[in-house]
Amino acid sequence: MKDKDDDIKKFLESMPIKFDILEEGIDIETHMEYLDYSHSFGHGELTEEQTLNLGNMLFDARIKTDGKKKALGLLAHLGTVTAFRQMEKYYHHPENEVKKWTALALQECKMFLESSLTEQNWGFISSGLGGTEGKLRHFFLVLPLTDKQFTPIQHHIIKEEFLLIAKDLKCSIETVADSDTYVGIKVLVPMDVAVGIFIDKGIQKCNELGDFVFEDYYVTNQEIPDRQETEEIIKKVK
Protein backbone atom coordinates (compact mmCIF):
# COMPACT_ATOMS: atom_id res chain seq x y z
CA MET A 1 0.00 0.00 0.00
CA LYS A 2 1.51 3.30 -1.10
CA ASP A 3 1.42 6.40 1.06
CA LYS A 4 -0.30 9.59 -0.04
CA ASP A 5 2.04 12.34 -1.20
CA ASP A 6 0.90 14.67 1.59
CA ASP A 7 1.73 12.03 4.22
CA ILE A 8 5.17 11.49 2.72
CA LYS A 9 5.84 15.24 2.59
CA LYS A 10 4.85 15.63 6.22
CA PHE A 11 7.13 12.77 7.20
CA LEU A 12 10.10 14.06 5.20
CA GLU A 13 9.68 17.59 6.52
CA SER A 14 10.46 16.22 9.98
CA MET A 15 13.92 15.26 8.69
CA PRO A 16 16.49 18.11 8.84
CA ILE A 17 18.52 17.19 5.71
CA LYS A 18 18.06 15.18 2.52
CA PHE A 19 21.65 14.01 2.22
CA ASP A 20 22.17 11.69 5.14
CA ILE A 21 25.37 10.40 6.65
CA LEU A 22 25.33 7.36 8.91
CA GLU A 23 26.80 8.76 12.11
CA GLU A 24 28.10 5.61 13.72
CA GLY A 25 30.11 4.55 10.68
CA ILE A 26 29.58 1.45 8.55
CA ASP A 27 32.51 -0.76 7.58
CA ILE A 28 32.87 -1.31 3.85
CA GLU A 29 32.27 -5.08 4.10
CA THR A 30 28.86 -4.61 5.76
CA HIS A 31 27.96 -1.85 3.33
CA MET A 32 28.79 -3.97 0.27
CA GLU A 33 27.02 -7.02 1.74
CA TYR A 34 23.87 -4.96 2.24
CA LEU A 35 24.00 -3.42 -1.23
CA ASP A 36 24.56 -6.79 -2.92
CA TYR A 37 21.62 -8.31 -1.07
CA SER A 38 19.39 -5.26 -1.39
CA HIS A 39 19.84 -5.15 -5.18
CA SER A 40 18.82 -8.79 -5.50
CA PHE A 41 15.11 -7.88 -5.43
CA GLY A 42 12.96 -4.99 -6.60
CA HIS A 43 10.70 -2.35 -5.09
CA GLY A 44 7.75 -4.13 -3.45
CA GLU A 45 4.27 -3.32 -2.21
CA LEU A 46 2.38 -4.75 0.80
CA THR A 47 -0.76 -3.81 2.71
CA GLU A 48 -0.28 -1.97 5.99
CA GLU A 49 -1.22 -5.13 7.90
CA GLN A 50 1.36 -7.16 5.98
CA THR A 51 3.96 -4.47 6.60
CA LEU A 52 3.27 -4.54 10.33
CA ASN A 53 3.49 -8.34 10.36
CA LEU A 54 6.84 -8.13 8.56
CA GLY A 55 8.03 -5.55 11.09
CA ASN A 56 6.98 -7.82 13.96
CA MET A 57 9.41 -10.44 12.65
CA LEU A 58 12.26 -8.14 13.70
CA PHE A 59 11.21 -8.50 17.35
CA ASP A 60 10.63 -12.25 17.18
CA ALA A 61 13.43 -14.05 19.04
CA ARG A 62 12.75 -17.19 17.01
CA ILE A 63 13.79 -15.46 13.78
CA LYS A 64 17.49 -15.89 13.03
CA THR A 65 19.85 -13.13 11.86
CA ASP A 66 19.49 -14.03 8.18
CA GLY A 67 15.71 -13.87 8.46
CA LYS A 68 15.85 -10.44 10.07
CA LYS A 69 18.23 -9.18 7.39
CA LYS A 70 15.75 -10.33 4.75
CA ALA A 71 12.86 -8.64 6.57
CA LEU A 72 14.86 -5.40 6.78
CA GLY A 73 15.67 -5.51 3.09
CA LEU A 74 12.02 -6.09 2.18
CA LEU A 75 10.85 -3.27 4.45
CA ALA A 76 13.44 -0.89 3.02
CA HIS A 77 12.25 -1.55 -0.52
CA LEU A 78 8.61 -0.93 0.39
CA GLY A 79 9.53 2.74 0.69
CA THR A 80 6.60 3.59 2.98
CA VAL A 81 6.28 5.57 6.18
CA THR A 82 4.93 2.50 7.98
CA ALA A 83 7.92 0.40 6.90
CA PHE A 84 10.31 3.12 8.01
CA ARG A 85 8.64 3.46 11.41
CA GLN A 86 8.79 -0.31 11.99
CA MET A 87 12.53 -0.37 11.31
CA GLU A 88 13.07 2.82 13.29
CA LYS A 89 11.40 1.23 16.31
CA TYR A 90 13.59 -1.85 15.97
CA TYR A 91 16.75 0.24 15.51
CA HIS A 92 16.56 1.40 19.14
CA HIS A 93 16.80 -2.19 20.43
CA PRO A 94 18.32 -4.43 17.72
CA GLU A 95 20.64 -7.40 18.06
CA ASN A 96 24.24 -6.29 17.61
CA GLU A 97 24.61 -8.47 14.51
CA VAL A 98 22.07 -6.44 12.54
CA LYS A 99 22.28 -2.91 13.99
CA LYS A 100 24.36 -1.53 11.12
CA TRP A 101 22.23 -3.45 8.63
CA THR A 102 19.17 -1.77 10.17
CA ALA A 103 20.76 1.66 9.78
CA LEU A 104 21.42 1.00 6.11
CA ALA A 105 17.87 -0.26 5.57
CA LEU A 106 16.45 2.87 7.22
CA GLN A 107 18.46 5.15 4.96
CA GLU A 108 17.50 3.22 1.83
CA CYS A 109 13.81 3.33 2.79
CA LYS A 110 14.02 7.10 3.25
CA MET A 111 15.73 7.37 -0.13
CA PHE A 112 12.76 5.57 -1.76
CA LEU A 113 10.32 7.89 0.01
CA GLU A 114 12.13 10.95 -1.30
CA SER A 115 12.35 9.50 -4.78
CA SER A 116 8.60 8.88 -4.88
CA LEU A 117 8.01 12.63 -4.52
CA THR A 118 10.88 14.19 -6.44
CA GLU A 119 11.71 11.48 -8.98
CA GLN A 120 15.27 12.15 -7.92
CA ASN A 121 17.41 9.60 -6.10
CA TRP A 122 19.13 11.56 -3.33
CA GLY A 123 21.02 8.54 -2.02
CA PHE A 124 22.98 8.38 1.19
CA ILE A 125 26.57 8.18 2.28
CA SER A 126 28.18 5.95 4.84
CA SER A 127 31.77 5.30 5.75
CA GLY A 128 33.86 3.50 8.29
CA LEU A 129 34.40 6.71 10.25
CA GLY A 130 30.81 7.95 9.95
CA GLY A 131 29.69 11.55 10.21
CA THR A 132 27.13 13.88 11.74
CA GLU A 133 25.04 16.96 10.94
CA GLY A 134 25.67 16.86 7.20
CA LYS A 135 29.43 16.33 7.60
CA LEU A 136 31.55 13.30 6.76
CA ARG A 137 34.39 12.29 9.07
CA HIS A 138 37.92 11.98 7.67
CA PHE A 139 41.35 11.25 9.11
CA PHE A 140 44.52 12.49 7.46
CA LEU A 141 48.26 12.62 8.06
CA VAL A 142 50.48 15.59 7.26
CA LEU A 143 54.19 14.87 7.15
CA PRO A 144 57.44 16.81 7.52
CA LEU A 145 59.79 17.20 4.58
CA THR A 146 61.94 14.18 3.76
CA ASP A 147 64.46 13.31 6.50
CA LYS A 148 63.05 16.05 8.75
CA GLN A 149 61.04 15.99 11.98
CA PHE A 150 58.43 18.40 13.26
CA THR A 151 59.49 20.73 16.07
CA PRO A 152 57.12 21.78 18.88
CA ILE A 153 56.70 25.19 17.23
CA GLN A 154 55.82 23.55 13.92
CA HIS A 155 53.25 21.34 15.67
CA HIS A 156 51.65 24.49 17.05
CA ILE A 157 51.63 26.18 13.64
CA ILE A 158 50.00 23.14 11.98
CA LYS A 159 47.27 22.97 14.59
CA GLU A 160 46.53 26.71 14.49
CA GLU A 161 46.53 26.98 10.69
CA PHE A 162 44.23 24.00 10.21
CA LEU A 163 41.88 25.35 12.87
CA LEU A 164 41.65 28.63 10.95
CA ILE A 165 41.00 26.84 7.64
CA ALA A 166 38.40 24.65 9.37
CA LYS A 167 36.56 27.74 10.61
CA ASP A 168 36.55 29.29 7.12
CA LEU A 169 35.25 26.11 5.46
CA LYS A 170 32.83 25.22 8.30
CA CYS A 171 34.75 22.03 9.11
CA SER A 172 35.07 20.69 12.65
CA ILE A 173 38.43 19.35 13.85
CA GLU A 174 37.81 16.65 16.47
CA THR A 175 41.31 15.44 17.38
CA VAL A 176 44.94 16.28 16.62
CA ALA A 177 47.60 13.61 17.27
CA ASP A 178 51.21 14.83 17.45
CA SER A 179 54.36 12.91 16.55
CA ASP A 180 57.85 13.89 15.40
CA THR A 181 57.17 12.28 12.01
CA TYR A 182 53.53 13.22 11.39
CA VAL A 183 50.44 15.08 12.59
CA GLY A 184 47.19 13.10 12.45
CA ILE A 185 43.95 15.09 12.28
CA LYS A 186 40.38 13.79 12.53
CA VAL A 187 37.93 16.25 11.02
CA LEU A 188 34.27 16.56 10.02
CA VAL A 189 33.94 18.05 6.54
CA PRO A 190 30.67 19.37 5.01
CA MET A 191 29.34 17.53 1.97
CA ASP A 192 29.87 20.54 -0.29
CA VAL A 193 33.57 20.84 0.64
CA ALA A 194 36.22 18.59 -0.90
CA VAL A 195 38.44 17.24 1.87
CA GLY A 196 41.44 17.65 -0.45
CA ILE A 197 40.83 21.40 -0.65
CA PHE A 198 40.75 21.62 3.14
CA ILE A 199 44.05 19.74 3.50
CA ASP A 200 45.80 21.55 0.62
CA LYS A 201 44.84 24.94 2.03
CA GLY A 202 46.15 23.96 5.46
CA ILE A 203 49.47 22.73 4.10
CA GLN A 204 49.84 25.86 1.97
CA LYS A 205 49.26 28.15 4.96
CA CYS A 206 51.77 26.21 7.07
CA ASN A 207 54.43 26.39 4.39
CA GLU A 208 53.98 30.14 4.06
CA LEU A 209 55.49 30.23 7.56
CA GLY A 210 58.58 28.17 6.85
CA ASP A 211 58.14 25.55 4.10
CA PHE A 212 58.33 22.55 6.45
CA VAL A 213 55.29 20.38 5.49
CA PHE A 214 55.46 17.71 2.78
CA GLU A 215 52.94 18.51 0.01
CA ASP A 216 51.70 14.91 -0.32
CA TYR A 217 49.51 13.46 2.42
CA TYR A 218 47.37 10.46 3.39
CA VAL A 219 43.59 10.73 3.93
CA THR A 220 40.88 8.15 4.64
CA ASN A 221 37.22 7.99 5.70
CA GLN A 222 37.27 4.26 6.48
CA GLU A 223 39.41 3.66 9.56
CA ILE A 224 42.20 5.32 11.54
CA PRO A 225 45.50 3.46 11.05
CA ASP A 226 47.36 2.09 14.06
CA ARG A 227 51.01 2.90 14.77
CA GLN A 228 52.43 0.14 12.56
CA GLU A 229 50.08 0.98 9.70
CA THR A 230 50.98 4.66 10.05
CA GLU A 231 54.68 3.89 9.66
CA GLU A 232 53.97 1.92 6.48
CA ILE A 233 51.77 4.72 5.13
CA ILE A 234 54.50 7.31 5.73
CA LYS A 235 56.98 5.19 3.75
CA LYS A 236 54.57 4.94 0.82
CA VAL A 237 53.62 8.64 0.83
CA LYS A 238 57.26 9.75 0.87
- The residue that leads in pLDDT, 139 or 238, is 139
Q: What is the mean pLDDT of residues 147-168?
A: 94
* Tens-place pLDDT, residues 129-150: 877 777 888 999 999 997 889 9
Q: What is the C-alpha separation between 210 and 78, in angstroms, rounded?
A: 58
* Tens-place pLDDT, residues 27-65: 767 877 887 777 676 666 788 888 899 999 999 989 999
Count CA within 13 A, CB hemisphere, residue 140. 25
Domain boundaries, the chain: 5-125, 131-237
User: What pLDDT does residue 65 have?
Assistant: 92
CATH superfamily for 131-237 is Transposase IS200-like (3.30.70.1290)
Query: What burial letters (b/e) apply to 175-186, b meaning 16+ CB within 10 Å?
Result: eeeebeebbbbb
CA 35 to each of CA 39, 90, 227: distance values in angstroms, whole numbers, following the listed order: 6, 20, 32
User: What pLDDT does residue 222 have?
Assistant: 81
Q: Three-class SS of residue 190?
A: strand
DSSP, res 4 = P
User: What pLDDT does residue 48 have?
Assistant: 84
User: What pLDDT does residue 10 have?
Assistant: 63
Q: What is the mean pLDDT of residues 120-132?
A: 61
pTM of structure: 0.59
Contact 104, 26 (CB under 8 A): yes
pLDDT reading at 67 higher than 70: yes
Percent of the chain with pLDDT over 90: 41
Contact 52, 75 (CB under 8 A): no
* Tens-place pLDDT, residues 40-49: 766 667 888 8
**Helical (H) or strand (E) element with 218:** strand 218-220
| Least confident interval from 116-125, 141-150, 199-208 | 116-125
Q: Return mean pLDDT, the chain.
A: 82
CA dihedral 148, 151, 155, 157 (to 10 degrees): -100
User: What pLDDT does residue 117 have?
Assistant: 55
Nearest to 216 by CA among 203, 198, 226, 228: 203
Contact 141, 184 (CB under 8 A): yes
**Helical (H) or strand (E) element with 82:** helix 81-91
Q: What is the mean pLDDT of residues 118-126?
A: 49
Beta-carbon contacts of residue 117 (< 8 Å; ≥ 6 apart): 5, 8, 9, 12
pLDDT reading at 16 higher than 50: no
